[in-house]
Structure 1
Amino acid sequence: MEISPATEADAEAISEILGEIEEYYGGQPTPGDAAQIRAALFSDRPAATVLLARDGDEVLGLASYSFLWPAAGADTSLYLKELYVREGARRHGVARKFMSALKEAAATAGCTRIEWTADKDNPPALAFYEALGAEPRGGKVFYRAQL
């Protein structure tokens, strides 16, 4: 199994996984729009970076991240927006390998930390992050405004 950055040729695979993520969170398993994915990830101003886990030609999951500034003082952080492992690949070390690759990407970019959120109603994810030694931080409230 390898972790590598997604390329524009991966837009369809990313689209399928986005549909699986929607279904996982209770929505319709509608794939993401490949044109929107290409614009968001592979344009002159990408909104995020996506890593894919692969076993040969099979895509096992994805991790999507962006950089945030300021993190603390003038430091930069890597913000993990989504980590998703397909059902058949769960509990085989894929998520751990993603976290290792994210730490490496953060260190290479000069970040001082990695930050992310996890749904309170996702006990497997919470247990995974706790097993990594990460502790929940309760000092902030998450907001969302629709445009």
Structure 2
Amino acid sequence: MIRTAVPADVPVIHALVRDLATYEKAADEAVATEEQLHEALFGERPAAFAHIAQDDTSGETVGFALWFLNFSTWRGVHGIYLEDLYVRPEARGGGHGKALLTELTRICVERGYERLEWSVLDWNEPSIAFYRSLGARPQSEWTVFRLTDDALSTLGGRRP
């Protein structure tokens, strides 16, 4: 079962984010607090949205998708950028990841969004194979760049 996240889901979303960071070998980088997630998802001006995957039998939360809107100047419409998709290891293979992506594609179609995009670590072969099986294709001609920490502060005019 896939449903829209509610404020009571923040603690489990936070725990799943931590699990994802551990899986991606970057647990020390996941410093967001439950309060920050709550504000981002349910504050006065939400910046992100989330969906929850629950086990059909137990009702236990087994995964989530956290996303936000992006915009294509070439297409002239919004799209969805999927920031995180995670299904607990013991629940993988049960269709939860596909169901989460199906819900996001349904939102895209319903709202006239023309893209659903995300990044995947190049070593994450199981996820890459899964995404390819759904018809997703890598954008190999693009390289992701990021400014953070000291570089972000320096360029933004504040010395670290």
TM-score by length of 2: 0.84
Q: Is the 8 A contact 1:15 1:31 kept in 2?
A: no
Partner residue in 2 for 1:53: 53
Change (3 A) 1:118 1:52: same
Cα distance, 1:71 vs structure 2: 4.9
In structure 2, C-alpha distance between the alignment counterparts of 1:62 and 1:85, rounded to whole Å: 7
Question: Which of structure 1's runs of 4+ aligned residues deviate more than 4 A?
Answer: 29-32
Q: Count the aligned residue pairs.
A: 146
Paired residue type of 1:23: T
Q: State which of 132, 137, 140 in structure 1 corresponds to 2:139.
A: 137
- Residue in structure 1 matched with residue 42 of structure 2 by the alignment: 42
Which residue of structure 2 lines up, in the alignment, with residue 27 of structure 1? 26
Structure 1, unaligned stretches of length 5 or more?
none
Unmatched segments (≥5 aa) in structure 2: 153-160
1:75-134 deviation per Cα after TM superposition (whole angstroms, max 9, x unaligned): 211111111000110111111111111111111222012111111100001000111111
TM-score normalised per structure 1: 0.91
Amino acid of the structure 2 residue aligned with 1:7? V
Aligned-pair Cα RMSD in Å = 1.7
* Contact 1:16-1:32 at 8 Å conserved across structures: no
Q: How does 1:116-135 map to 2 (within 5 A)?
A: 116-135=118-137
Asked whether the equivalents of residues 71 and 77 of structure 1 are also in contact (C-alpha less than 8 Å), the reply is: no
| 23-32 vs 63-72, greater mean Cα deviation | 23-32
Provide the rounded CA distance (Å) in 2 between the counterparts of 1:82 and 1:65.
7
Residues 106-117 of structure 1 aligned to structure 2 (within 5 Å)? 106-117=108-119
Q: Name the SS of the counterpart of 2:141 in structure 1.
A: coil
- Show the counterpart of 2:67: 65
**Structure number, greater radius of gyration:** 2
Q: Distance in 2 between matches of 1:133 and 1:103?
A: 12
Deviation of 1:73 (Å): 3.2
Deviations 1:27-51 (Å, cap 9, x if unpaired)?
A: 3387852111111110121121111
Counterpart in the other structure of 2:158? none
Tell me if structure 1 keeps the 8 A contact 2:75–2:114.
no
Which residue is equivalent to 1:86? 88
CA–CA separation in structure 2 for the residues paired with 1:11 and 1:24: 20
Q: For the residues of structure 2 that align with 1:32 and 1:107, how far apart are their CA atoms? A: 31
Distance in 1 between residues matched to 2:43 and 2:121, nearest whole Å:
30
Calculate percent identity across the aligned residue pairs: 30
